[in-house]
Amino acid sequence: MADEPATWATWTTKNVWAGPGGVRTVEGAQLNGDLSVHTTWTGTEAILTVQYTDAQDWFTLQGSPIEVGDEQAARSWHQHAVEAVRGGNGGALT
């Protein structure tokens, strides 16, 4: 129904240039350069991932997933992840 709150959402921001030191991933990779940031909110958590822009493989940002109970908070975490990537120094989600 239209009045029911969303139970999932996604956001992608492309062409985010990683600052010096790039970002660390759960998989152990350290990514630098032109990245895309993607967030999937499942209704209970935000899963934040990165990839080299237009590549196929996605990597989970260090610190993800994050418990998030509402869509607005998940969107805020997406923006926080974009800024963390731009800041470099490992791009930690804190």
Q: Left (φ > 0), alpha (ψ -120 to 50) or beta: where does 2 sit?
A: alpha
Mean pLDDT of 1-6: 62
More confident residue, 90 or 25: 25
Residue type, 94: T
User: What's the mean per-residue pLDDT of the chain?
Assistant: 93
**Are 63 and 90 within 8 A, CB to CB?**
no
Q: Tens of pLDDT along 37-64?
A: 999 999 999 999 999 999 999 999 999 9
